[in-house]
Amino acid sequence: MISALEDTKGAANQSGEGPGARRHPIQVRLTAGAERALAVHPTPLLVELELLFSCLIRKRVRFPAAPHADAIPVPGTDPRLTLYFHPVCTKVCAIGDAEVPDLLTFPIRRVTPFIPRAVTLDYRKSGWTGDFSYPQERR
């Protein structure tokens, strides 16, 4: 029997077959500060795109030293970045940007529609910041 999480990872990593499997690389937008910081960064920058499902939905871009064990690798348009998508949920309703204790990986059956289509990164004195979005595809 396949667990929901295994199914999620499989769905995210499908090549081109199956419903919802058609996926393009995440469009990467970098500010001038991010370009300068990446130019001197010795290895690809690890970027985790976290989508929190609670009583509200929260988007967060994280820059961890290592990806979460359940994070899903996703393609991007910039080889200087290593991108991961991590859908999570909480045990109780949590509102705000504060750290949420006891985050659980959210078992999405068809993860492809939830994977962001674009990420914007910036680097300032305080460090890396970012946001991700779901712009409409032109047809």
The full set of domain ranges for the chain reads 4-133
Per-residue pLDDT tens digits for 90-113? 877 766 665 666 788 888 888 899
Q: What are the backbone angles phi and psi of residue 114, rounded to the nearest 5°? A: -95, -10
Q: Whole-model pTM above 0.95?
A: no
CA distance 139 to 117: 15
Per-residue pLDDT tens digits for 38-63? 999 999 999 999 998 888 888 999 99
Neighbouring CB atoms inside 10 A of 86's CB total 21
Q: Could you tell me if 88 and 105 are in contact, meaning their C-beta atoms sit under 8 angstroms apart? A: yes
